[in-house]
Structure 1
Amino acid sequence: MTKPTIVSNLFLSLTLFLTTWVRSLSSTNTTTTHEILRGFSATPDPSNPSSFQPLLTDPTSTFSLGFLRVKSSELALSIIHVPSSDPVWLAQIIPNSARWSESTRLLFNGSLVLSDPHSGVFWSTGTNGGDGLRLLNNSNLQIVDSVAVTVLWQSFDFPSDTLVESQNFTSAMALRNGPYSMRVGRDFLALYADFKGDSNPLYWRHKAMEAKAQVEDGLGPVYARVDSDGFLGMYQTEAAPVDVMAFASFHRGVAGLRRLRLEPDGNLRGYFWNSTIWVTEFEAIQDWCELPSACGPYGLCSAGNGCTCLDNKTEFSGSGGCSRAESGDFCSGGEEGFWVLRRAGVELPYKELVGFEKMGSLEECEGDCMRNCSCWGVVFSNVSGFCYRIGYPVQTLVAFGDGTKVGVFKVRKRGEKEGKWEVGFGGVVGLVVVGMGVLGGLIGLGVWWWKKRMIKEGKVEFVEGVGLAPGPYRDLKESLRSESSRSLELCKR
């Protein structure tokens, strides 16, 4: 090798090194870019009043990855739809953990990591070997190995509460929002609720119609996808969908980005962007009272009348409902841990999806629940004899036209007034008795102190039949003892 060739190669290597180093340095600030390289780091700007701090955008500037401010002081790592500012993806960070402060840091070192020096790692992709982070124009965030030309990780495989067009939703994934989740089964889509009880009720289920293709064993699991033609499709292969759930814009040639979101109320809704707003064009549950907890715990939903409370006396509050959220069971407290609330003319929402057992009477249905410490209540139909058991903290019931359906519900007892439930009559009487006892004790103590002071100052005398008389302490002691004995004798009479 000649000397000029060696110099030329060294110069080329140095140029490549400096180029990579400069690009890496430039990526450490929080200026929005279309590419993030290994070595990038960023922190939230406490002086920034905005609710979103962008770090990376897609080539069309439609989507952006950045810090999303939550409850003024908390932080989420999010991808937002820039024109609407609505999140389409959130990193699964433990709630109330990451703070909007300079100590919180996002680092890309082959893995994308959100952490702070005090709490450690909040979230990480757990990847190795990545040298580039990019955001595609369909909102998919990818970590790539440019040498091997492979995608090591992508946000489309870890959805939060939203699916966008062209994003496959498989049986290994779940949409989540609060206690609600959506999953795909062998030939169906389903919505579930986790109310922190013995069971997680299924409250919506859509089975594949199999009109254009059949679900067959050996062809792989079924997956779902939002199509640009305005429908939510279920597929087993790309040849044809096994099911089509049409949106309002189906086959109408309406242009615009589409997305499907699991909402905070547990409903599943589809939208398209008309360049100004998100237009609702699909709703899985159209009857509001059929939502899993439309009126909150121990609420009663009536068509056309809104929400009231099951106990028929607590005033429903739009912010607090009828009672605080419960969890667990009664297996540790026994029967002393609850009182029983009965209400006629109620039924469960989504009752077609709830298991039941046929029984001969309401008493039999109720007794079965009372003997089961994981049972929170039952609804019994006097017509059919169906006994529906509730294996989770009681949520919203639906008003029924007559009294043929009766609900029996356990309500957890409390030592004091909590949530929305009032202290019962027995509790009030007990508090009054205790209060009177304390007051009587204080009065007696006051009288004793006053007598003692009067005796000391010589302002009263103790005479026979009254109690105070002149004389030494021994005489006084004997007189008090005699008076006490007389009082005791009178009490016995």
Structure 2
Amino acid sequence: MRDGGKGYDPATAFLITALCAASAALLLLVDGAKGDEDEFPTLLINGFTATHAAGSPSPFEPVLYAPNRAFAFGFLRVGPGSLDLAVVHLPSSLPLWRATPARLGDWSRPATLSFDTTLVLTTAGGPDTTVLWQTLNAAGDTVALLNSSNLVVRRYARPFPSWQSFDYPADTLVAGQNFTAASPPLISSNRRFALRLGASFIALHMEFYGGRARSPAYWRHSALEEPPAAGNATVYGRLDGRGFFGMYLDGDGGERRVDVLSFDTFAEANLAGALFRRMTLDDDGNLRAYYWADGGGGSTKAWTAEYEAISSGRCGLPTACGAYGLCVPGDEAQCQCLTADTTSPPCHAGGDDEETAADLCDHVDAELDVVRRTRVSVAYKEQLPPFATNTTAAKCEAACAGNCSCWGALYGGASGYCYLIDFPVETMVYDADDAKVGYFKVRKVQSQTRRRGMAPGVKAVLAVVLVGLVGAGAYVGYRMWERKRRRRGEGMMVQELGTGPYKDLKSMASSNNSFKA
């Protein structure tokens, strides 16, 4: 019904107004969604490039986010000034995964992350451009960070990722991540310890100087249910969100769980599956599990430990007191030294000398002291196969003294077992038993200041330089002698010419071209 014959309909006017308002609101939502997508990108496609701002004051520069905004992937500052790529748990700012390139970048210099079928991290352009890290043997169309913290490279037409960070753990496993014999070992962030999976067990190892020396085990857990020795079955581990680490057998009959490491919260139904969990090889050498719960309401939460592989305290850890240290158990474990040159750690500089760490046999001319101590043992004695049984302390010591690859020997009087330490001596443990005797080889401190031997190539270069310096010195000496000789000759000539008339000098100059300027 029209009003006043002017064609005005209140209902129609109201409908038009409502439609306009709805359109405006929709535009605002779309614009807001675009802005949010720009600020929190959740997908990278071919052609993507991001540049690290050299010397950025922020320790983390994200370039990709998980849909739940709990994780981000980007540039991470490591230590005082190194650059790496990492997946970070944003609520705690903790790196869960690191690319850990063979050669870390420099935080003070620009670096570029690009994606063109593969992810590639390079230093800034120019003639010295260097590839620091890339996803090898994989090609994809997109890169995404899942809500599980898994970074994946995918092809559009394939359901499974062509590359994923879960296959290349750093020092941490998260819920749902498989840990197999083909996986790289978990390496602590200080590069001193490793977690490896064997045929039917997991074990913790000491890593001496980047793995260039032997990697002895100091903790081991075998599956309770032994897998079959033959067949195509493989054992792998997986952290379960319900609060345990399981070991599984994948064979012809499908997946079967053969062992469980239960966490403290495993029986708590209100926590099971509702938390984000991780298992990390910490820098002290212990393998621990943690959980994180969102506090809500802006409250601050922290990681809560719920499992540790070595629960015997500080003295149970392999390097608690450093090289040649002695850990005294108690409510508050104390560190002493095996050597007499000092009483408190660090105990002996020679124990950490990288030059002789790999093998004493390569340095037979090294000057060694001998340290003998009673009441000493080692926390991981079960991981050291006995060299001999039913022997004596003297025979045990002699077996090590005559072996250049032996760094020390431990003898247990009650058992008669002799254990040889064929790796650099680390922390020993005090044991109130006079029959437990230790014998240790220690490099003399003064030998540290002795001139170290040089490689043949270095010697050759230095010889050439020395010959060049001698030749240059001889040449300079000759020139100085020649200059003095000429001065003496010129002085005598001036004296002789000064006695004659000036016209004789002019005639001499015109008749002898050697005196012309």
Note whether the superposition's TM-score is higher than 0.5: yes
Deviations along 1:125-148, whole A, 9 cap, x unmatched? 124541111110000101111144
Find the partner of 2:224 among 209, 215, 218: 209
1:195 paired with 2:208, answer: yes
Deviations along 1:112-165, whole A, 9 cap, x unmatched? 111124261111112454111111000010111114454210000000110000
Aligned residues: 387
CA–CA separation in structure 2 for the residues paired with 1:30 and 1:315: 59
Find the partner of 2:352 among 325, 335, 350: 325
Deviations along 1:292-313, whole A, 9 cap, x unmatched? 1111100001112411111245
State the 1:285 CA deviation. 0.2
Partner of 2:413: 382
Partner of 2:186: 175
Contact 2:54 / 2:111 at 8 angstroms: preserved in 1?
no
Contact 1:44 / 1:53 at 8 angstroms: preserved in 2?
yes
- Equivalent pairs: percent with the same residue? 40
Partner of 1:299: 325
TM-score normalised to the size of structure 1?
Answer: 0.74
State the 1:193 CA deviation. 1.3
State the 1:384 CA deviation. 2.2
CA–CA separation in structure 1 for the residues paired with 2:243 and 2:216: 30
Find the partner of 2:288 among 266, 269, 274: 269
Ranges in structure 1 where 5+ consecutive residues have no aligned partner? 1-25, 419-493
Partner of 1:308: 336
Q: Secondary structure of the residue that 1:332 maps to in structure 2? A: helix
Contact 1:330 / 1:337 at 8 angstroms: preserved in 2?
no
CA–CA separation in structure 2 for the residues paired with 1:88 and 1:140: 10
- Pairing 1:400-411 to 2, within 5 Å after superposition: 400-411=431-442
CA–CA separation in structure 1 for the residues paired with 2:106 and 2:140: 27
* 1:389 partner amino acid: L
1:246 paired with 2:276, answer: no
State the 1:417 CA deviation. 5.8
CA–CA separation in structure 1 for the residues paired with 2:319 and 2:58: 33
Q: Secondary structure of the residue that 2:352 maps to in structure 1? A: coil
TM-score normalised to the size of structure 2?
Answer: 0.70
State the 1:338 CA deviation. 1.4
Deviations along 1:246-289, whole A, 9 cap, x unmatched? 10110312021111111111110001112211110000001121
Contact 1:375 / 1:390 at 8 angstroms: preserved in 2?
yes
1:76 paired with 2:117, answer: no
CA–CA separation in structure 2 for the residues paired with 1:416 and 1:175: 36
Change (3 A) 1:92 1:331: same
Partner of 1:46: 54
CA–CA separation in structure 1 for the residues paired with 2:415 and 2:381: 13
- Pairing 1:110-129 to 2, within 5 Å after superposition: 110-116=117-123, 117=125, 118=128, 120-129=130-139
397-406 or 128-137, which moves further after superposition? Answer: 128-137
- Pairing 1:13-52 to 2, within 5 Å after superposition: 32-46=40-54, 48-52=56-60
State the 1:101 CA deviation. 3.6
Partner of 2:459: none
State the 1:244 CA deviation. 1.0
Partner of 2:297: none
190-199 or 83-92, which moves further after superposition? Answer: 190-199
Partner of 2:23: none
Partner of 2:152: 142
Partner of 1:133: 143
Partner of 1:232: 245
Contact 1:230 / 1:247 at 8 angstroms: preserved in 2?
yes
* 1:199 partner amino acid: R
State the 1:51 CA deviation. 1.0
Contact 1:198 / 1:391 at 8 angstroms: preserved in 2?
no
Partner of 1:485: none
Deviations along 1:429-454, whole A, 9 cap, x unmatched? xxxxxxxxxxxxxxxxxxxxxxxxxx
Find the partner of 1:397 among 428, 452, 455: 428
122-131 or 60-69, which moves further after superposition? Answer: 122-131
State the 1:107 CA deviation. 1.3
Partner of 1:60: 68
Deviations along 1:226-246, whole A, 9 cap, x unmatched? 111111111114654111111
Deviations along 1:9-37, whole A, 9 cap, x unmatched? xxxxxxxxxxxxxxxxx9xx995411111
* 2:308 partner amino acid: E
Ranges in structure 2 where 5+ consecutive residues have no aligned partner? 1-33, 295-300, 450-517
Contact 2:202 / 2:221 at 8 angstroms: preserved in 1?
yes
Partner of 1:283: 308
Runs of at least 4 residues of structure 1 off by over 3 A? 29-32, 147-150, 196-199, 213-217, 237-240, 320-324, 414-418
376-385 or 333-342, which moves further after superposition? Answer: 333-342
Q: Secondary structure of the residue that 1:407 maps to in structure 2? A: strand
377-386 or 152-161, which moves further after superposition? Answer: 377-386
1:152 paired with 2:159, answer: no
Contact 1:219 / 1:236 at 8 angstroms: preserved in 2?
no
Contact 2:235 / 2:249 at 8 angstroms: preserved in 1?
yes
* 1:194 partner amino acid: E
Q: Secondary structure of the residue that 2:105 maps to in structure 1? A: coil
The structure whose Rg is larger is 2
Q: Secondary structure of the residue that 1:365 maps to in structure 2? A: helix
Q: Secondary structure of the residue that 1:218 maps to in structure 2? A: coil
Q: Secondary structure of the residue that 1:366 maps to in structure 2? A: helix
CA–CA separation in structure 2 for the residues paired with 1:231 and 1:215: 24
State the 1:52 CA deviation. 0.7
CA–CA separation in structure 1 for the residues paired with 2:116 and 2:163: 14
Q: CA RMSD in A?
A: 2.4
